[in-house]
Amino acid sequence: MAAMVEIEDLHWRYPTFDEAEEHPWTLKGINLRVEKGEFFGITGPSGAGKTTLCKAIMGIIPHGLKIPFGLYNHHFRGRVVVDGELVSAVDPEGNVVDGEARGRLFGRGIMSPKVGMVLQDPETQFVKMSLLHEVAFGLQLLRLPREEIEVRVRQALEMVGLGYLADDAEYIHPNDLSGGQKQRVAIASLLAMRPELLILDEPTSDLDPLGKREVIETVRMLHDEYQMTVIIVEHDPEILRRFCDRIALIEDGQVQCVDEATSFFRHMDRLERGGICRFEVSEIAYRTGIYHHGAIPITIEECLTCFPKGLDASLQPEDPRPQGEVLLEVKDLTYTYEDGTQALRGVNFQLHRGEVLALLGTNGSGKTTVAKILNGIYRPTSGTVTILGQDITRRSVRRELPRHVGYVFQNPDHQIFTRRVRDEIAYGLKNLGLSEEEIAERTVQALEAVNLTDKADEDPLFLGKGQRQRVAVASILAMRPEILIVDEPTTGQDYRMVSGIMELLENLHSQGNTVLIITHDMTLVANYCERVVVLLNGQDVFTGTPRELFGNPENLERTQLCAPQAISLSVAMRQLKEDFPLLLNKAEWIRALQTQRWV
Amino acid sequence: MASTKKSPAHGRKFVRSFLFSVRIDSPLARLHVLTKLFAILALSLVIVQFINTEAPDPIGTILLILLTLLALHLCGVLRWVFRSYLLVIFPALLGMALVWVAFNPDPRGGVLLEIPIYSGELDIGISLGLGLFLAVLIGWYVVRKEIFWGLVGGIALAVAITSLLGNPSLTFARVPFFHPLTVIVSRNNLTVAVTKALGYGGMIFISLMLVMTTRDIEFIGVMRQVRIPYVVAFFVSTMLRSLNMALVDYGTIRQAQVARGVSLRRKNLFQVIADMAYMAVPLTASILRRSSEVGDAILIRGFTMKAKEPTEFHEVRPFTLADGVVVGVCILFLIATFGFHLNLTRWMGIL
C-alpha cells in the first residue's frame, strides 16, 4: 500500500519572543507512516504534541509561522512528506548569514486543498458570517467557476447531513447552529475542497453523545465512499476502536507505539502509564483478572463470553433517595430569548441539600439556560423557580443569587479576571464584602480543596486547562454557595484531567456540598451523580436515578442519550439472565465480582 | 444524503450583522451598502448645515433625528439594543448641550440666565469650605477606604456650614489663568446647543444603522465593486466580523462576572470602572486565542497574502429601485439644504 503521510525524525519547537531562551522541543523525533485510504487515530495526554503534529502534516508548521531571524535549524528537523510530495524539510547548513548557518526551508508548504484540517473548536475556525460563504470560502480561493461552487457547496452540505440547510444557508450564521452542526459545517467547508487527506483534531470534544456519533459516522462514511485518508486525534476509546484502522500513542512529543485498533486498548499497563482513557469493561476485567482468549476484553460482545453470568441479583446496590431538604424547585419554567428563540418550554425538577444532580441533554436542549436562570443571570419568562424558599422572579432575590448559587462556566478562560491565582480566588470574596482576614482564610481553604496551594502566586492564564478549570471551581467554592453548578467540567480534557475533576467533585460531595452538574460525560454521571434530569428541546423528559436512565433502553431512546459501557454490559447480561444485577459503574462491577466469584 | 428535515432557518427572523443582528426582511438590510454610505454622507452634510451656529434649524434637525430613529427601527434591531443605545446616547447628548452652553456665552436673542463662574484668576489659598471638604474626604477615605461618599459628604458639609457661617478664606497668591467664564443661557445659545446635540445624535444613529444592517459578505462585495484588492477587503471584513465575536465574548464574560457577585453590592463610579477593567483580562485572552486560531483556519483554506482575486460568489449585490429612491431622496435633501438654504424653523416662523 502507498503511503499518504511519511514523517521522519520530526523535531519541532515553537519560537519565543526572546531567542536567547528557547522553548524545549515539542516534537522529539516523530517517525510515522499513514497509508493511503487508512482511518488513522492519534491519542495521548494533553500537551503531548498531537495538534502540533497535525499542523506539521498540514504544513502550517513551520510554513505558517514566523521564525525569528529565519533560524529554521533551531526549530525544525526531519522531513514531512504527504502523498509523495515534500511538505517540509530543513537543510541545517543552508542560509548562511554572517558565517552562521540558519537553515534553509524546503517543501511545498501549506497543503491545502490536498489536505484539510478540522480544528478542535469549530467556532474559532469560522471566518464568515454565513453558512453559505463559510463552505464556499476555500472554493472561491481556488477560483472555481461560480456554478461549480454552487454545486460543491450543496454536495458538501448533503455529505455531512446538512443538506436541509442549503436553501437558507446565506442567512444562517455558523455560530448559531448546534455543536454537532457546527462541527459538521467545519468538515463540510473542507470536504467541498475535496481533500485527499482529512485531519480532525478532537472534533467531538464539545458534542453530546448523539452529535459525537453523527459526526464520526459522517467521516467514516466519507472515508468508505470516497477512499479518503483520515487522521483523527481523539481521547474517546470507543470512537478510536470503532472507526480507526490503526492508532498511535503520542506522549511527550514522541510516538510511543502504533497498533491495530482491535488490540491497542488491550495493553492496560501501557495505557495507564500514558494516562490514556481505557474502556470501562477493560478496567473491570483488568482489576478482577478476567480475560477473553488470554487478552483483556474491550467490547461488550467479548465480555458476554468471558464475564460471569451467575452474579446474584442481591449484588445490585440500592439507589440513594434524596434525603435533605429541597433547596431548589423549578416548576413549568420557560425562557424565550430576545430574538424569539424559545430555549425552555416547561422544565420541572427539584434539588435536595447534599445531593449531586446531573442535568443532561443534547446540545441546545436548554441546560446552560437553566443554569443561568438559577444563577440570576437570566429572568424566567414564566414559571416559578424557588431557591432556599425564595421566588427568584423577584429582582431583589435574583440579585442576591450569586451568594447562594455558584456557577462555574464551561470555559475557564471566560472567568479568569486577574493575573494571580490568589487574587482570582479573592475576587468574588471582595464582591461579597468580606474582611481581609476572612478573604485570606477562605482563599487558602479553597486552594487546598482543589489542590492548587503551590500555584497561589502564579498567573492563571499560564496554567494548563485542567488547572485553570480548578482555579475557576476554587473561585466559586470560596464564596461558599449552598448550591454549586458546574457546566461541562470535563469537556476537551484528557483522561488524567477528567480523573482529577471527578475526584474533586467526589470530595465536594463528601464534604456535603450540593452540586448540579451539566455534562455530556455519561461515565461521570454513572460514577458520581445520584439523580438525573434530562432536557430535550427545552423540556424535561426524564427524572430519576442514573440506573433507571441507563438501565432502560426506552429511556435512552426517549432522551437521545447513550449509556456508559459498564451498565450497558449489565443490560446485555440481563438479556441472557433476567435477574442479573443492574450494575451501574466500574466500582459496582468490581465490588460485585470480588464479592461473588462466578459459578 | 437525503435531507428531509425542515430547515431551522425557515421562519428565521434575524440574521447577524457586524453589530448585533438585523431583521432579514427589513428594508434597510436590503439596501446596497454604497447607498447606505451615500445616505450617511448626505444626511450628515445636511445635519452639519442644520446645526450651523449662525442659522440653526432645530425643527429640521428634529425631523432628521426622527428619520434616523425610524431608520434604526426599520433595521429590525432588537428592542433591548435600541433601548440601550437611547439610554447611553441621550445623556451624552445632554452633556454635550450643557458643555456648549457653558463655553459659548452668546447673549443674542435675550439672556435667560447669567451666572459668573470663574473670574479668570486662580486663588491659591485655603477657605473654611475647602478645609471642611478635604477633612471629610480624607477622613472618610482613611476610615472606609472609599472616595465617593467622602466626596458627597464633604461637599454637603462644606455647603451647609459656609451657608450658615460664610466662607472665610486666606489667599496666598492670585494667578491669572485662562479667561473669565460666565454661563449665559440665552435663547440663541440654547437653540444652538439643542440643535447641535440632536444633530450629532442623528449622525450617530445613522452611522449605527450602517454597522447594524451590514454583513461581512456585503462589505466584501462592495469593496470588490470598487476594486479594492481582495486581501485588504478580506482583512477589513474579518476585523469588523470580530466585533460580533467580541460582543459575544463580552456578554459571556459579563455573565461570569455577575456569577462572581459583581452586582451584589452598590458600587461607586471608580469601583464600576475597576470592574470593567477586570474584564480586560479574559477579553484579551479570548481575542488573542481566537485570532491565532482564525489565522490557522484561513491558512488551512488556502488563503495567503498572495491570494489572487477569488471567484465572486453571492457577494456583489446589484442596485435596485429602492437604492435609486433612497439616493434620490438624499439628493433632494442636499439640493434643498445647500441650493435653496432650506431652514424649516425659519420657514415655519418659529425663530
Region A67-82: mean pLDDT is 92
Report the distance separating Cα A48 and Cα A28, nearest Å: 10
How do residues A435-462 score in pLDDT, each as one tens digit?
999 999 999 988 888 888 888 998 988 8
Cell of B56: 440653526
Residue B42: predicted pLDDT = 94
Residues B162 and B190 both lie in one domain = no
Query: B 304-333 residues with CB below 8 A of A?
Result: 304, 307-315
Report residue B128's pLDDT band, with 50, 70 and 90 as the boundaries: very high
Residues B32 and B145 both lie in one domain = no
Residues B52 and B151 both lie in one domain = no
Report residue A249's pLDDT band, with 50, 70 and 90 as the boundaries: very high
Residues from chain A contacting residue B307 (CB–CB below 8 Å): 141
By the 8 A CB rule, do A427 and A475 touch? yes
Please give the share of chain A, as a percent, with pLDDT higher than 70: 98
B4 touches chain A (CB under 8 A): yes
Specify if B3 maps to a domain: no
Cell of B251: 456578554
Q: Is the pLDDT of residue A157 over 60?
A: yes
Specify if B289 maps to a domain: no
Specify if B168 maps to a domain: yes
B78, B248, B300 ranked by CB distance to A112: nearest: B300
Specify if B286 maps to a domain: no
B215, B300, B311 ranked by CB distance to A117: nearest: B300
Q: Is the pLDDT of residue A598 over 60?
A: no
Residue B8: predicted pLDDT = 42
Query: How far apart, in Å, are the Cα atoms of A361 and each of A207, A366, A530, A539, A558?
Result: 11, 8, 17, 10, 11
Cell of A265: 486498548
B239 touches chain A (CB under 8 A): no
ipTM: 0.82
Please give the share of chain A, as a percent, with pLDDT higher than 90: 58
Residue B297: predicted pLDDT = 92
Mutate to test the interface with A, among B78, B300, B308, B314 (most CBs of A within 10 A): B300
Residue B240: predicted pLDDT = 78
Specify if B261 maps to a domain: no
Residue A273: Cβ within 10 Å count: 12
Tell me if A415 and B79 make a contact (CB, 8 A cut-off): no
B108 touches chain A (CB under 8 A): no
For residue B17, what is the nearest residue in chain A, using CA coordinates? Answer: A129
DSSP letters of A450-482?
Answer: TT-GGGTTS-GGGS-HHHHHHHHHHHHHTT--S
Query: How far apart, in Å, are the Cα atoms of A99 and each of A21, A95, B117?
Result: 22, 10, 73
Residue among B67, B160, B300 nearest A122 (CA): B300
Q: Is the pLDDT of residue A191 over 70?
A: yes
Report the distance separating Cα A593 and Cα B175, nearest Å: 95
Query: How many domains does chain B divide into?
Result: 2
Q: Is the pLDDT of residue A18 over 70?
A: no
Residues B164 and B197 both lie in one domain = no
A162, A400, A406 ranked by CB distance to B264: nearest: A400
- The answer for residues whose C-beta is within 8 angstroms of residue B237's C-beta and 6 or more apart is B216, B219, B220, B223
Residues B42 and B171 both lie in one domain = no
Tell me if A171 and B5 make a contact (CB, 8 A cut-off): no
How do residues A394-426 score in pLDDT, each as one tens digit?
888 888 899 999 999 888 888 899 989 999 999
B248 touches chain A (CB under 8 A): yes
Specify if B299 maps to a domain: no
Residues B33 and B146 both lie in one domain = no
Residues B24 and B164 both lie in one domain = no
Residues B109 and B38 both lie in one domain = yes
By the 8 A CB rule, do B125 and B214 touch? no
What range defines the domain where residue B97 resides? 13-115+183-214+319-351
Region B331-350: mean pLDDT is 89
Residues B93 and B143 both lie in one domain = no
Q: Is the pLDDT of residue A518 over 90?
A: yes
Q: Is the pLDDT of residue A463 over 50?
A: yes
Q: What's the gap between Cα B186 and its chain centre?
A: 28
Region B96-109: mean pLDDT is 84
Q: Is the pLDDT of residue B6 over 60?
A: no
Specify if B292 maps to a domain: no
Specify if B4 maps to a domain: no
B48 touches chain A (CB under 8 A): no
How do residues B25-43 score in pLDDT, each as one tens digit?
788 888 899 999 999 999 9
pLDDT averaged over every residue in chain A = 90
Q: What's the gap between Cα A529 and its chain centre?
A: 19
Residues B81 and B192 both lie in one domain = yes
Residues from chain A contacting residue B296 (CB–CB below 8 Å): 55, 60, 64, 119, 125
DSSP at A322? P
Residues B189 and B50 both lie in one domain = yes
Mutate to test the interface with A, among B301, B314, B315 (most CBs of A within 10 A): B301
Amino acid identity, residue A327?
L
Residues B88 and B196 both lie in one domain = yes
Residue among B14, B77, B74 nearest B39 (CA): B74
Residue B175: exposure state from Cβ atoms within 10 A (0-12, 13-18, ≥19): exposed
DSSP letters of A135-159?
Answer: HHHHHHHTT--HHHHHHHHHHHHHH
